[in-house]
Chains A and B, each alone.
Chain A
Amino acid sequence: MSLKGIGTPADQARLARRKRIGQIYRIVTGIPVVLAVLLIATLVFDVTTDTVSWHVVEPDNEGVNLSFQEGFRWFGTWEHVVTQELEARGEDPAATLGDAEERRKFGLRNRVELLWSLNGQPMRWVVSNSRDDRVASYGWFEGNRMHDELLAGLEGGEQLRLNPWLDAAFFTKNASRTPLMAGLINALVGTVWVILLVILISVPIGVGSAVYLEEYAPNNWMTRFIEVNIRNLAGVPSIVYGILGLYAFVRLMNIGPVVLSASMTLALLILPVVVIASREAIKAVPPSLRQASYGLGATRWQTTSRVVLPNAVSGIVTGVILAVARAIGETAPLLMVGAAAFIPRIPDGPFATYTVIPIQIYSWVGENDPEFANVASAGIVVLLVILVALYAVAFYLRRRFERSW
């Protein structure tokens, strides 16, 4: 006899009802998950497809059109393609490339591009020029659909190009008024500088506070007051930190609108999160290990440094990474403390004027030229990749140092 048949018919009916209710809740709780996944997938899909677009271009110079193998020379690619280009235009490559100033000017107006498609040919190197005439632009799908039609409709000198915005040049060029010439390098370096200093400032202070609060602080009203307020600070809108940073760091301490004041502001912003995460990690170290250490005659600091911190480090690092990931995406407080929409040169230290990726994206989105939407999408993809990479590191660390006691 199967187990299913156990019980009176009334019992069975009740069981069937309980199971039905379970099924309903399974569906009800599952819907938001499905919705969330769909939304994220749509966002990623939309942004990534926006980083590629079709153009009908009438080039200023006919120039070169090289296959991938013809143009690719590892780190010498740019120089190689430019040499070919200048020869094709009938100019002397040595005159341009040999002189630093001429070379810089050429770099500002021209972009070496690896097009995914050029008049139906895949993977061609061309040198785009800011004076190239863009006759028409189409999105990735629209262009794909109309490809043959567009190709047939090209008039004298026009080319149909599939242009990936997210290419090597995007990472080597600075922001520009021309979408084609716009790149991320200054914002990328700015972000690296800002985040590096954020980590240097927030980790010692945050972990130090967490250690003090967990291991040393007496359990009195003052400690509890501080604890509650750290949690409250984690919920304060970031713009408020921006105003604080503007007043305290930029003006009062007179540091000015530079990398350092941005880092200090963002460090303040993420400190509560770092403290909370570190405290949770420290709390998670079993009391039995502390007891073992004290039982062997360890002082409080020896116990903290040799037992508690080594066993809490993965949790602390995970928390710090998640907090830093938040700081990387912050825009509002940096608008307050003086991140510029455009800076002429790469930030080279804590006292350099700067911009960061989210600010750069923000300013691109506000531009009139619709092609800046593609540039912004490329920037967003870079930002997302950085964030996903950080989350992956956090995930790896959590798995790697996961312990069962």
Chain B
Amino acid sequence: MASQAVPKDHVTVRTDPIPAGEAVVTLENLSLWYGDFQALHDVSLTVPKNQVTALIGASGCGKSTLLRCVNRMNDLVPSVRVEGQLSYEGVNLYDGAVDPVEVRRRVGMVFQKPNPFPKSVYENVAFGPRLHGYAGDMDALVEKSLKGAALWDEVQDKLKQSGLGLSGGQQQRLCIARAMATDPDVILMDEPTSALDPIATDRIEELIHEIKKDYTVIIVTHNMQQAGRVSDRTAFMHLGVLIEEGPTEQIFTNPQHEMTERYISGRFG
């Protein structure tokens, strides 16, 4: 079935909204344009601390764009314009005084395709801390980060070898360890398993479960089973509009909006 237009004044259906006190990231009426094209329409979303929030929706619905707003990666795209508020622990990240470089240290990111640097495993993890002039015990930090990403046992003898020599799944966990090494509070994951086989995917999903006690995770996924397995809350987007958000279980078993229902039952998208 063809995707259908959404009224621009659509009011997001919310189930069990998060009280402001528990939020770590809050989006208020966030709109974004690439040149003349509006990719996000007045999105408001509250992301709770130490939980996994999944963004789902068909290709081109703006979920990756939304994710990249949170650590201001969209700033790197020329001709991007953002309106509205995105606050992180009460600070509007799009305030003129906020430096995106500092934002990205606190909001780490894992990309769709594993992208380790062509450096050793050790140097990959140490890259972030070195950028920020980390003065502590680098060996300990690298070990802690690799353990955090459940990769230490596999690479502790290969720290000096190239990160590109690892398998796809290991590379992605290396990227997670690399993101953890700068000690962020939030980790953004943009379809982190789409380039991986089912077993590697499984390990990443387990890992997401484990790390949420220390980090707030926002994950974009095309795979609805994955959203069901890993996330606590789910937000469904369509053509730049946030249609519905709520506890994952609720969204998957009892969607309130007709489009959400049709998307999760696989009838469009």
Contacts and interface: CB of A to CB of B under 8 A. Distances in A.
Interface of A: 218-219, 286, 288-289, 291-299, 302, 306-307, 311, 403, 405
A141 to B, nearest CB: 54
Contacts of A218: 78
Nearest to A219: B78
Given A296-B182, A297-B105, A288 B111 contact: yes
A306 B117 CA distance: 10
Contacts of B227: none
Nearest to B102: A297
B71 A298 contact: no
Given A289-B115, A292-B115, A297-B105, 16 more contacts: A292-B175, A293-B117, A294-B104, A295-B104, A295-B109, A295-B179, A296-B108, A296-B131, A296-B178, A297-B128, A297-B131, A298-B131, A302-B131, A311-B118, A405-B118, A405-B164
A291 B77 CA distance: 11
Nearest to A401: B118
Interface string B87-111: 0000000000000011111001101
Contact of B111 (A291, A298, A299, A311): A291
Contacts of A286: 115
A307 B128 contact: no
27 contacts: A219-B78, A286-B115, A288-B115, A292-B111, A292-B115, A292-B117, A293-B117, A293-B127, A294-B73, A294-B76, A295-B71, A295-B73, A295-B104, A295-B108, A295-B109, A295-B179, A296-B127, A296-B128, A296-B179, A296-B182, A297-B104, A297-B105, A297-B131, A299-B101, A299-B131, A306-B127, A307-B117
A113 B78 CA distance: 69
Interface of A is mostly: helix
Interface string B126-143: 011001100000000000
B113 interface: yes
A311 B115 CA distance: 14
Contacts of B128: 296-297
A299 B71 CA distance: 14
Given A219-B78, A302-B131, A295 B111 contact: yes
A235 to B, nearest CB: 30
Contacts of B127: 293, 296, 306
B130 to A, nearest CB: 8
A299 B164 CA distance: 24
Interface in B31-79: 71, 73, 76, 78
Contacts of B179: 295-296
A289 B178 CA distance: 13
Contacts of A289: 115, 117-118
Given A219-B78, A291-B73, A292-B175, A298 B113 contact: no
A218 B78 CA distance: 9
B8 to A, nearest CB: 30
Contacts of B71: 295
Given A219-B78, A288-B111, A292-B175, A297 B132 contact: yes
A293 B178 CA distance: 10
Contacts of B175: 292
A219 B78 CA distance: 8
A292 to B, nearest CB: 5
A84 to B, nearest CB: 60
Contacts of B115: 286, 288-289, 291-292
B118 A297 contact: no
Contacts of B76: 291, 294
Shortest beta-carbon contacts, A-B, top 5: A297-B105, A295-B109, A296-B128, A288-B115, A297-B104
Nearest to A302: B131
A314 to B, nearest CB: 11
